[in-house]
Structure formats: C-alpha cells, structure tokens
C-alpha cells in the first residue's frame, strides 16, 4: 500500500496511472492543512464582521443570488444545496471514475481558496482510503456552474444521505458511517457550494481517457506494425527523410516507433511485388501521428485542470477578497474531450481498414484467414463487428461542446456540455479497445500463414504473449470469447512489455 501526499506538488499522468492501479491511499500534507484552515478562518472572520452580500455564502444560488440568507440559516442553506442538486439519472458512473472524482475534489480543495473546513476535506480523504465510494450517475451536469448533480451525489454521504459502495455492495451511507464511527458533518457557510462547484466529474473522466488514450496510441502503432508486416507491406513510407520534410511531431514520432518495432523482421526486408500499399498501412504515421498530437493537446489541458481550483466564489485570504467568477466553466475540457474523441475514433477507423485488407484474400493470404474456407467462415464476421463499432464512434464524435441550453432562469445562459462530451469519449475508448482487439486477432492469424518467416523480436514476443490468451483459429469457433480475451490482454501489462 503506497501513500499519495496531497500537496502543492502537481498531479501527473504517471501519478494518476499509479492511483488507478489500486492500493494507494491519500494523506493531506501539513502545508495543505494549513492553507485549508487559514482560508476557513479568514472566511469566518469576514462573515462575522461584515453584512455585505457574498454570492452563495449568505445569498441564494443561481438566479436566486439576490436573496439574502440570515446567519442562523447558513448551514441549512448549504445542506439544502447538496440535497436539492442530487438529481442525477442514467447509468451509474464506474467506481474507478468515482475514486478519481474524490481524489480530484480533495486536490482542488487543498489549495486553500475554497473556504471549506479541514474536517470536510479529511472526510473525503477517509472515504477514498476506506474505499467508500458514493453512487454517482452519468446524467445531470451541463458542464458549467460545476458538475452540480454528479458532485452532489459524490458529497451526499458527508450528510449521511445517499448510498455508497462499501466492500463492493451498495449500502445506505448512514449505515457505513455508523459502522466506521464517522459522525455526520455539518456544513459551514460556503462549503456546499465549494463541494458542488467544480469540474471533477469532467476532469475524472478526462484524465482517465487521457491515460487510456496514451495506451491505445502505443497499442495501435504496435498492432499496426504487425499488420503491415503480415500484409507484406513496404518499409519505405516510414523512412525519416519522408517525415523530416513534413515534421509534425506526432507523425515523425510514430514513423520512428514503427521503424524500431520492425527492426530485424524477415518479412519487412523480403522483396516486394507491389510498389505501394493502401493508405491504412502507408499512412500510419500521418493518421496515428495526428491522433498523437491531439491526445497530447488534450492531456495538457487536463493536467492543468486537475491541478487547479475550479469552484466559485474564490477566497483569497492574503489579498482580503472574495471573487465570484467562472472557473467552474468546462469549455476548455469540453473542447479537449471532443478533440480526443475524434483522435481515438480515427485510430479505430484506420485499424478496421487494416483488418478488412488482411481478410480480403490479397497478397497470398487466404480469404478470411482460414485454411478451409466455405465450411469455415474464419474472420469474416469480426470485421463486421469492428465496422459496427467504428460507425458508432462516428456518431459519438458529434461535438457536445458546440451545444448550450439556458438554465437557472437565464443566469446560467451558456454552458459547455462537457459532461456529455466526457461520457461519449469514455464509450469511444471502450470501442477502440474492441476494434484493436479484432485487428490483433486478425494480424496474428495472418502471421501464421507467413511462416516460416518471422517478424521482429519485439513483435514475435508480443504475438507469443497474446497466443497464451487467444490461440490460432484452426476451425470456426465462438469468437466472442476470443475478442473479450484479446481486450483483456490489451489492457494488461503484457501488451506493452518492451514498449
């Protein structure tokens, strides 16, 4: 069990990957505790010595900002906010995303600009460490004014409301709190707003997607290199001279990685009968490379976001000011999510085309990569499945970030719809794994028909590891399980060994 210290040190994609692997607890640093307490003390003093209306602290919310709230009702105001906003619907958010939401909410509150009580942040950390994961639902956030509904469900357990997963089972949060000896928290002024305002739903999905996008990019290039070799493709389009005269970073990087992966292959160096390959092989650097650049852009956006303060209003103790602004607006995330969705969709699109070429009976490969066609259909129908997934990805790539619906009686008149962008991109990630799994099955099947020639040492090891999970298809069998096993393999450490 390792410990992640919540501090001013920035979260990285590497630290997120470690966190996602499990077995990580969090602990607030002394400096974080000091910042949180200092901001809360400042806010308490401000409320004690001033009658000036401060949005969401002693006023109503949204279009009710002009309603002043008396001092003896401030706790009720915050608790009513959490309860009234917990109106999510749709599928449940996966638990690994909920864990990320908790981590990112703790990180954002720890900077000391939100005015929360130290005990509130500590309880969120306790929930994370004890694997008490609130039931959160996909639908309900407009991606501006914060991810209000999902974050309300995330924080309901602080009030002994809602349900949580504990030991893998859904349980009323009040029961779990009693079992763990956790008293019900009482939210002070501004706390409900700090908990609900923020982009942690979009950010959790986004950083998870970025983590997997980097992985999918490596896998797509590794599988693409294997497909190129088994298709008897040419190495010329990957020469550095070609890419030096059009030096997009991603394009040049992918070309170099393909050259490296094919080093030592007997297949790639044998004489070629054809002078050109189809685009899905010849243009791997250009297509994968463009996706690589888009993934890098999106990753940078989310790394900035997960190390930021995104609630409202922002409390600045040292400057003696409280500012109502719009850091909760998800437009940067919505645009990045739409962009990375397109990038991942294209990795799937070109993958399916390579699968199609490999089963087409070209270049001395048997049709559908089966030894006895007719009685056996071989790999005919997995390509259909890949085509179906590619088509759905195209539909999911319709941008969410260009949409907006007026809410809160016109006060919140432009929203990002970044939450919808996040859940769409999440589905594209899942589809991309399935599409690449089908290409891998196909490329490995094709390699058998090229024997005794061998591909590179790196790719032979890759195929060997894969064959422990999915054996050669001699005669027709139920391929659903093969595709599932291939997906599991692609998500395992073995798939990127020596990457």
H-type alpha helices, 397-471: 418-448, 457-467
Cα 14 from Cα 462, distance rounded (Å): 24
Four-residue CA torsion sign, 432, 438, 441, 443: negative
- 486 and 443 Cβ atoms separated by less than 8 Å: no
Measured at the CA of 233, the angle between CA 230 and CA 236, to 5 degrees, comes to 145
Query: Residue 216 contacts by C-beta under 8 Å, 6 or more apart in sequence?
Result: 344, 347, 429, 432, 433, 436
Cα 298 from Cα 217, distance rounded (Å): 14
Per-residue tokens: 85:
């906003």
User: Which of helix, strand or coil describes residue 160?
Assistant: coil
Q: Which of 218, 268, 232, 221 is nearest to 457 (CA)?
A: 268
Query: Residue 52 contacts by C-beta under 8 Å, 6 or more apart in sequence?
Result: none
How many angstroms from the chain centroid is the CA of residue 83? 28
Q: How far apart are the first and last CA of the chain?
A: 26
5 φ/ψ angles, rounded to the nearest 5 degrees:
-90, 120
Cα 87 from Cα 85, distance rounded (Å): 6
Four-residue CA torsion sign, 135, 141, 143, 145: negative
**Is the bond into 413 cis (omega within 30 degrees of 0)?**
no
- 131 and 183 Cβ atoms separated by less than 8 Å: no
H-type alpha helices, 231-330: 240-244, 249-261, 266-269, 279-282, 284-305
User: Which of helix, strand or coil describes residue 321?
Assistant: strand
State the angle between helix axes of 418-448 and 380-396 in degrees (0 to 180), rounded to the nearest 10. Answer: 160
The region that residue 143 occupies, defined by phi over 0 for left and psi between -120 and 50 for alpha, beta otherwise, is left
Residues annotated as catalytic are 55
Per-residue tokens: 95:
């638990």
Query: Residue 72 contacts by C-beta under 8 Å, 6 or more apart in sequence?
Result: none
Q: Which of 306, 451, 398, 425 is nearest to 14 (CA)?
A: 306
- 27 and 4 Cβ atoms separated by less than 8 Å: yes
Q: Which of 204, 203, 197, 269 is nearest to 233 (CA)?
A: 269
């Amino acid at each position: 069990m390792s410990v992640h210290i919540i501090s001013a040190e920035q979260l990285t994609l590497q630290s997120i990957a470690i966190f996602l692997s499990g077995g990580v607890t969090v602990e607030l640093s002394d400096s974080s505790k000091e910042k949180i307490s200092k901001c809360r003390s400042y806010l308490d003093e401000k409320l004690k010595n001033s009658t000036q209306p401060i949005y969401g602290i002693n006023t109503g919310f949204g279009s009710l900002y002009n309603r002043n709230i008396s001092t003896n009702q401030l706790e009720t105001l915050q608790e009513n906010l959490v309860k009234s906003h917990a109106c999510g619907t749709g599928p449940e958010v996966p638990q690994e995303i909920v864990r990320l939401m908790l981590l990112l909410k703790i990180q954002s509150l720890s900077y000391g600009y939100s005015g929360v009580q130290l005990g509130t942040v500590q309880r969120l950390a306790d929930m994370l460490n004890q694997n008490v994961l609130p039931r959160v639902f996909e639908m309900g956030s407009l991606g501006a004014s914060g991810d209000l509904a999902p974050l309300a469900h995330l924080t309901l357990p602080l009030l002994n409301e809602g349900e949580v997963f504990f030991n893998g089972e859904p349980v009323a949060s009040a029961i779990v709190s009693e079992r763990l000896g956790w008293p019900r928290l009482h939210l002070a002024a501004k706390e409900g707003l700090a908990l609900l305002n923020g982009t942690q739903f979009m950010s959790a999905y986004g950083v998870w997607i970025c983590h997997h996008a980097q992985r999918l990019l490596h896998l797509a290039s590794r599988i693409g290199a294997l497909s190129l070799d088994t298709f008897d493709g040419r190495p010329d389009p990957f020469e550095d001279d070609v890419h030096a005269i059009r030096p997009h970073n991603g394009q040049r990087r992918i070309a170099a990685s393909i050259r490296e992966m094919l080093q030592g292959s007997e297949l790639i160096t044998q004489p070629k009968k054809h002078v050109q390959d189809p685009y899905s092989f010849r243009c791997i650097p250009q297509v994968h490379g463009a996706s690589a650049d888009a993934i890098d852009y999106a990753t940078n956006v989310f790394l900035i976001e997960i190390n930021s303060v995104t609630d409202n209003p922002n409390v600045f103790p040292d400057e003696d000011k409280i500012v109502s602004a719009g850091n909760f607006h998800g437009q940067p995330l919505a645009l990045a999510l739409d962009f990375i969705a397109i990038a991942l969709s294209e990795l799937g699109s070109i993958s399916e085309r390579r699968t199609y070429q490999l089963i087409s009976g070209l270049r001395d490969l048997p049709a559908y990569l089966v030894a006895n066609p007719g009685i056996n259909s071989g790999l005919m129908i997995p390509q259909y499945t890949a085509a179906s997934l590619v088509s759905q990805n195209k539909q999911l790539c319709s941008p969410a970030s260009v949409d907006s619906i007026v809410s809160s009686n016109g006060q919140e008149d432009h929203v990002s719809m970044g939450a919808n962008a996040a859940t769409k991109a999440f589905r594209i990630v899942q589809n991309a794994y399935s599409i690449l799994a089908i290409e891998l099955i196909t490329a490995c099947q094709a390699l058998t028909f090229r024997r005794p020639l061998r591909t590179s040492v790196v790719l032979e090891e890759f195929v060997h590891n894969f064959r422990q999970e999915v054996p050669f298809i001699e005669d027709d069998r139920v391929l659903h399980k093969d595709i599932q096993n291939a997906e599991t393999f692609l998500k395992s450490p073995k798939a990127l060994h020596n990457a």
